[in-house]
A and B are shown apart, each in its own frame.
Chain A
Amino acid sequence: DAKTTQPPSMDCAEGRAANLPCNHSTISGNEYVYWYRQIHSQGPQYIIHGLKNNETNEMASLIITEDRKSSTLILPHATLRDTAVYYCIVRALTNAGGTSYGKLTFGQGTILTVHP
């Protein structure tokens, strides 16, 4: 899996957009970018993923640069409940039998604090 680099912490005002960056300069052509978050001591929560194109769902948008070396997760209208650790994970789809099959590796992530 490609290595990712995220800022350790960020702040955002409630109601504003939160833009969380992730660098993954060694990403391979078959690797996806996944975003998860973990609200304090709760189970990690899948947010969104993408390969090349920008993606949007009900939770967030994912913007991937053309060279795919970095991406940005956008929470369009952050709320206090979005305060969490956000993890950017880069990995390819895995085949059964591979040593990394289904094994997500969560790095340090970005602690996002949304304040009133």
Chain B
Amino acid sequence: EAQVTQNPRYLITVTGKKLTVTCSQNMNHEYMSWYRQDPGLGLRQIYYSMNVEVTDKGDVPEGYKVSRKEKRNFPLILESPSPNQTSLYFCASSFSSGRILTDTQYFGPGTRLTVL
């Protein structure tokens, strides 16, 4: 089954304790991205990756890092989490043909993060 998986689904942590949220897709998609969703603010893009070793900032990258060492995985790293990073996080992937991206994006189930 084609899918995007995220782990963990729920996480409660404390300020400053480094954490990683994993994202994996089995569709051989070149494009992957991370969004956060907050009440009243909708979905905002954090980082995206066009392919292996190619990443770029989205709209709200501060406090986050990403890496793309393999095509299927795109982990989100919070080096020193703060309470304002409490949010619902979604990973997404999409197929691109050459440099043209389709917008039929597949989203993961979400990771609800609470930073105390």
List of A residues within 8 angstroms of B50 by Cβ: 96, 101
B110 contacts the other chain (Cβ, under 8 Å)? yes
A43 touches B103 (CB 8 A): no
Contact A104:B105 (CB < 8 A) given known A41-B110, A43-B4, A96-B50: yes
List of A residues within 8 angstroms of B4 by Cβ: 43
B90 contacts the other chain (Cβ, under 8 Å)? yes
List of B residues within 8 angstroms of A34 by Cβ: 103-104
A102 touches B99 (CB 8 A): no
Number of residue pairs A-B, CB distance < 8 angstroms: 69
A91 contacts the other chain (Cβ, under 8 Å)? yes
Contact A95:B99 (CB < 8 A) given known A43-B90, A103-B58: yes
Summarize A's interface: helix, strand, loop or mixed. Answer: loop
Q: Which residue of A lies closest to B102 (CB)?
A: A93
A101 touches B101 (CB 8 A): yes
C-alpha spacing A101/B96, complex, angstroms: 11
A49 contacts the other chain (Cβ, under 8 Å)? yes
B106 contacts the other chain (Cβ, under 8 Å)? yes
Which residues of B in the span 62-114 have a Cβ within 8 Å of any Cβ on A? Answer: 88, 90, 92, 94, 96, 99-110, 112
A32 touches B43 (CB 8 A): no
Q: What is the CB-to-nearest-CB distance from A99 to chain B, in angstroms, rounded to a whole number?
A: 10
Q: What is the CB-to-nearest-CB distance from A36 to chain B, in angstroms, rounded to a whole number?
A: 8
Q: Which of B31, B59, B88, B94 lies in contact with A41, CB distance below 8 A? A: B88
Q: What is the CB-to-nearest-CB distance from B64 to chain A, in angstroms, rounded to a whole number?
A: 15
Ranked nearest first, the 6 interchain pairs of A and B with the lowest CB-CB distance are A43-B107, A96-B99, A103-B45, A44-B107, A46-B104, A106-B43
The 26 sampled A-B contact pairs (Cβ below 8 Å) are: A34-B104, A41-B110, A42-B110, A43-B90, A43-B108, A43-B110, A46-B105, A91-B103, A93-B100, A93-B102, A93-B103, A94-B100, A94-B103, A95-B99, A95-B100, A96-B100, A97-B99, A101-B50, A102-B33, A102-B48, A102-B94, A102-B103, A103-B59, A104-B103, A106-B42, A107-B42
